[in-house]
Chains A and B, each alone.
Chain A
């Protein structure tokens, strides 16, 4: 047994780690399944791996898992649950959970998100930026598409240019791009209108996806639909789409990344919109696993002997966006006071079943930092902690005019948002603020993000959002600085703090990670004092795997990493 193993063993005996954690951490430090099994056997007890973590202190470990134990053999078929049927599997339209969960195994990108939530080369062998306005990608050679044709540099240029059409849901990634050209046999050069460090990070998402020009062009608007299935370079090829029921992928035997050759012959994704049915399917073994399992079933899954529930490292954040420039919320002190009065610890437990960590006064969870991590963590610790400070809050409210009502929008019939809204309402009451909950028809809730008219009469609204890439600027920049009229934005209260704007504008152009981190951290501390939003918690990624299957990464990478290649028999 290695030193790591021995330490884990001691900790397990001392009751400091649960069995689930042991498996997670064991896998993370590279312990094989036999070693872990030996440790567990030595400790005795046959209960499920997930049930041990009931100590109050265990909450701190939520959201840390990045891997699951490595598989010991091959799996014939993996049955996976999706909580809705994906739209077309054409990467330019894949901008939501389940589309990406599937397509990431088919269509790969120039860069790739890793289970540790960092960015590494994918279909590009390397990326370099000779200056702030130029990005050079060296394309990997010897890569084959599922239809047998070789991937060429022309395919890469064609694929990137598809996003220059505003119809692409990822067109925003190319907002600052001036040109995309082939500049060598295996080289593509992207020139920018202005420096933008978010662009190269987004090449790890479908914004950097690559498909075969001939096939995509031939299929036209049907590409990616069941009649003209997607073709990519990934570890799995599209096989069939039984509409309304399931999608089947089969192993791509000529997969270029031979060190990560898939260990499962086929993956069947079933669409299960009803939360209780998803939980039942996992408990009955009809499906082997699912990401983002319903919160309503977490306790059942946690205590089940059928498999293990992991709560993985994430880039998710639950936040209240402020969408007014008048009324009490326009006063920065009211925002600060309200945040101090909201019990984020209780919210993480009650609303997310403990599968979330409270955020200090920042909307950037540590999972979004792929660089300068120790610097980021130190700064994170210094932020006002997520504890209730009613005295401090009341002090801030002195002399504030609390007349008038504040309207918070929630998605009707969406239990988590309703619960959050009442926690916020309750916090407001303690400060003399009259907060009214306005339920919005679930179908129309998304409109609040899109249209000014939908936000009329709404002072704040709840959102569970995520960063696509581990670059804090991706979500922070567009939320707290003024954006040009035709750009993507989450800045609904015209927030413009000169020091934040200046720091973040410099950061977006700063290619040196350490310097960029300093600028972001400086802005983050100003934002903690002058809040633009009310950050609540960072939900972890709930992943359930039954005893047949293991190896799936536990982190948020599953949207943009070909995760199914790592899954095999337990």
Chain B
């Protein structure tokens, strides 16, 4: 069976719709993180730390820290929201709420549940990114940021693709962690290394091995690509590199996730 076709099946979309429905009922609390997090980051780091840093060099030209930070926050939101939802959210639904098992007793099969979770994580992360854009827009109106908003229609689908691939990493850990007490492992093994080696919040130091490693980090390319788009209005090779790495992750991880989750949920595989 093709592991990617269920992404387009109505059952996966029914699972996605269930998550959207639940989320929208609590929209007032659900909207707090995407609004507050960039707001705090921009105020604390962009305004606060930015005054200490002043300008830094990016792409051979000086750039104030607030402008450096803004596209990085956008990329990090897509990464973090998707990973968090596909790890914590999916694990709780699978293990504690048993809502997966309830869905699986219907016309929904495991591949639909898994794709529903991945699509939901990507949709939520993209929605959060849009909210972040609104916050950035407010900073723009206040004269703190100048961004090329016309490139947003290019940025949003890329953020969705990246979030979808990050959700595949989250689901991988959902499949393999022995218990919720082990949730710190993926944070230390994945989120922190990918987050710090990604030039989201600060430029990477000129260390050869780190520069080499970062070439395989989709978040690094996503951050740099978003900067090129939103700061200069120029699509760069980083966007293509990010998209390529994300597609590669999906190709490798989705079949693995399905196999491991089948074993976890049904004890079969």
**Same complex:** no
